[in-house]
Amino acid sequence: MTLRVGVIGCGFMGQAVHIPSILSESRAELLAVSDIRPILAAGVAKRWHVPLWYADYHELLENQRVDAVYVLTDKFSHYQITMDALKAGKHVFVEKPLATKYEEAVEVAEEAKRRSLVVLVGYMKRYDAGVQLARDKISSAGPPVYARAAYLGGNWTFGDPQIRPLSTQEQVPPIPRSYPDIPGHLVALYDDLVEQIHSVNTVRYLFGEPKVISARFHSGVLLSHLDAGFPISLEFGWINTGRWTEEYAAYYKDSELIVDLPPPLYRNATASVTLRGASYDTVYARVGFKWAFERETESFVSAVLDSRPYPSGAQDAAKDLEIAEELVRAVSRSEGKGEAGRLNLT
Ligand SMILES: NC(=O)c1ccc[n+]([C@@H]2O[C@H](COP(=O)([O-])OP(=O)(O)OC[C@H]3O[C@@H](n4cnc5c(N)ncnc54)[C@H](O)[C@@H]3O)[C@@H](O)[C@H]2O)c1
């Protein structure tokens, strides 16, 4: 059986990541692409030999031969396009974040459940073999004494992408922005946090469901204290040192497990996992060199065709937005108790 797929949004992620991943999956067939920029849609269809292209994604959704769509547009349109796709009876792969508000993400999750359709949210780190290994190690070791996450971003493409996307001079029409009810001066922080929502999502995947205890935003860095039955510190910011900086650590009485993630666009590495003790370092073998994005598409196809469970559904993704909103509200409560401001490295 083959899953017939349509792609909505033929920008960077569509061209450099997801179209090639779909084409590498033997049980998927890329039937149609859509982009609000018609010259780009036509060019991408031609480059990848895709039979159909549309400027209006609604027309793609009307095509009864399409079983599933990939929503790869700007985050502010994920909610609406995903809802439209579900109402048209399509399974959906949607890039993160699922929506920009918790309540919208919950609505998507309910709609998918009501219609028994798959919504897989593009948290590819959950499909990284090293991250999966670390999660297994952490869950079999029992709760750590303390856990720490540092998501400081940086050079995420690791140089030029292997596949250079086509581009055109066409402008993308402005997409209305929608945010939850948060203080205006913290909207930029919230925007960054939901754009890089992998940070919260990976903390939950590795360490369990946390509550937000407190958060401060200082010099462009969010420093937060979470609790999942043990304390977790989440440091979040964008300090571009020229490498990709994303590390998760679980500390036990006599050892520590360190998970170091590769730049997302680097195809040939999984997260590295090291167990360190007083007198040893055990570096676990890098299991499964398959790119996390390709494993993610493999899971999507298998979720639809074989009803296989998958680790990044809509209901789960809604929790990330709930925590992101809570983090920003915690920052707001902390203000007046110290300085806040954006990072300035110049
Ligand atoms: N998983 C990851 O690590 C990761 C990394 C980067 C980006 N992303 C996410 O992927 C998504 C896409 O990012 P990108 O860098 O490819 O953006 P992009 O701007 O390069 O591409 C988005 C494309 O969507 C098209 N588009 C916009 N509205 C549309 C509509 N209504 N119908 C059809 N097409 C429409 C635009 O014309 C554009 O070509 C974003 O949500 C982003 O957050 C995820």
- The answer to whether residue 188 scores a pLDDT higher than 60 is yes
**Alpha carbon distance 258, 95 (integer Å):** 27
Task: Let me know whether 105 and 173 are in one domain.
Answer: no
Question: Would residue 194 be called left, alpha or beta, if left means φ above 0 and alpha means ψ between -120 and 50 degrees?
Answer: alpha
With the most atoms of ligand 1 within 8 angstroms of its CB, the residue from 59, 72, 131 to mutate is 72
In a domain, 218, yes or no: yes
Q: What is the CATH number of the domain that holds 88?
A: 3.40.50.720
Residue 163 sits in the same domain as residue 180 = yes
Give tens-digit pLDDT for 236-281: 999 989 899 999 999 999 999 999 999 999 888 899 999 999 999 9
CATH of the domain at 228: 3.30.360.10
Say yes or no: 256 and 107 in one domain. no
Q: Is the dihedral of CA 96, 99, 102, 106 positive or negative?
A: negative
Candidate of 74, 124, 170 to mutate for ligand 1, largest count of ligand atoms within 8 Å of Cβ: 74
Residue 180 lies in a domain: yes
Tell me phi and psi for residue 218, to 5 degrees: -140, 130
Contact in structure between 287 and 270 (CB atoms under 8 Å): yes
- Ligand 1 binding pocket includes 11 (Cβ within 6 Å): yes
Residue 121, C-beta contacts closer than 8 angstroms, at least 6 positions apart: 94, 95, 96, 97, 98, 312, 313, 314, 316, 317
- Residue 218's CB is within 10 A of a number of other CB atoms, namely 16
Domain count of the fold of the chain: 2
Q: What does the alpha-carbon distance between residue 34 and residue 57 come to, in Å, rounded to a whole number?
A: 6
Strands (E), the chain: 3-8, 28-34, 52-54, 68-71, 91-95, 119-122, 146-154, 211-218, 221-227, 231-236, 244-251, 256-260, 272-276, 281-283
What is the position in ligand 1's atom list of the atom closest to the CA of 55?
33
Q: 265: Cβ below 6 Å to ligand 1?
A: no
Closest residue by Cα to atom 25, ligand 1, is 9
Strand partners, 137: none
Contact in structure between 144 and 138 (CB atoms under 8 Å): yes
Q: What is the pLDDT of residues 1-33, one digit of tens each?
A: 999 999 999 999 999 999 999 999 999 999 999
Stretch 126-150: mean pLDDT, rounded?
A: 97
CB atoms within 10 A of CB 42: 17
pLDDT classification of 344: cutoffs 50, 70, 90: very low
Q: Cβ(39) to ligand 1 under 6 A?
A: no
- The answer to whether residues 158 and 193 belong to one domain is yes
165 within some domain: yes
Q: Higher pLDDT residue, 262 or 345?
A: 262
Mean pLDDT of 309-317: 98
In a domain, 51, yes or no: yes
The proportion of the chain whose per-residue pLDDT surpasses 90, expressed as a percent, equals 90
Same domain, 24 and 116: yes
In a domain, 156, yes or no: yes
Q: Are residues 60 and 103 in the same domain?
A: yes
- Can you give the pLDDT at residue 346? 40
Query: What value does the mean pLDDT take over residues 161-172?
Result: 92
User: Is there a domain that residue 53 lies in?
Assistant: yes
> What CA–CA distances, in Å, run from 313 to 109, 124, 208, 219, 296?
8, 12, 16, 34, 12
Confidence check: pLDDT of 339 > 90: no
pLDDT at 202: 98
Q: Which domain holds residue 244?
A: 126-290+322-334
Q: Would you state the structure tokens that stand for residue 87, as one six-digit string?
A: 């109402």
- Ligand 1 pocket, residue 34 CB under 6 Å: yes
Rounded distance between C-alpha atoms, residue 123 and residue 198, angstroms: 7
Pocket of ligand 1 contains residue 264 by CB under 6 Å: yes
Q: Which residue from 72, 54, 73, 40 is spatially nearest to 168, judged by alpha carbons? A: 40
Closest CA to 299 of 164, 129, 165, 139: 129
Is the same domain home to 11 and 50?
Answer: yes
Residue 338 pLDDT exceeds 70:
no
Burial class (CB in 10 A: 0-12, 13-18, 19+), 64: exposed
Please tell me whether residues 133 and 282 are part of one structural domain. yes
Cα 121 to ligand 1 centroid, rounded to whole Å: 14
Predicted confidence at residue 345, as pLDDT, reads: 45
CA of 211 to the centre of ligand 1 (A): 31
Specify the amino acid at residue 139.
S
Q: Which tokens in the block code for residue 47?
A: 């480059």
Report percent pLDDT > 70 for the chain.
97
Does pLDDT of 288 surpass 90?
Answer: no
What pLDDT, on a 0 to 100 scale, did the predictor assign at position 124?
Answer: 98
Any ligand 1 atom below 6 A from CB of 43: no
Is any ligand 1 atom within 6 A of the Cβ of residue 199?
Answer: no
Each residue's pLDDT tens digit, 83-124: 999 999 999 999 999 999 999 999 999 999 999 999 999 999
pLDDT at 136 over 60: yes
* Mean of pLDDT values over 61-74: 98
Q: What is the pLDDT of residue 80?
A: 98
| 36 within ligand 1 shell (Cβ under 6 A) | yes
Residue 344 counted as domain residue: no
Q: Do 162 and 113 share a structural domain?
A: no
Count the Cβ atoms, other than its own, within 10 Å of residue 89: 12
For residues 165 and 274, state if they share a domain: yes
If asked whether residues 142 and 271 sit together in one domain, one would say yes
Q: Evaluate whether residue 37 is within a structural domain.
A: yes
For all residues of the chain together, what is the average pLDDT?
95
Looking at the structure, tell me whether residues 306 and 278 fall in a common domain. no
In this predicted structure, the answer to whether residue 341 has a pLDDT above a threshold of 70 is: no
Cis upstream peptide for 97 (omega within 30°):
yes
Over residues 196-221, the pLDDT tens digits come to 999 999 999 999 999 999 999 999 99
Instruction: Give, in degrees to the nearest 5, the angle at Cα 193 between 188 and 195.
Output: 95
pTM attached to this predicted model: 0.96
Residue 337 pLDDT grade (very low, low, confident, very high; cuts 50, 70, 90): low
- Helices first, then strands: H and E counts in the chain: 11, 14
Radius of gyration for the alpha carbons in the chain, expressed in angstroms and rounded: 20
The 10 Å Cβ neighbour count of residue 342 is 13
pLDDT of residue 162: 80
Residue position matching structure tokens 């909505």 = 8
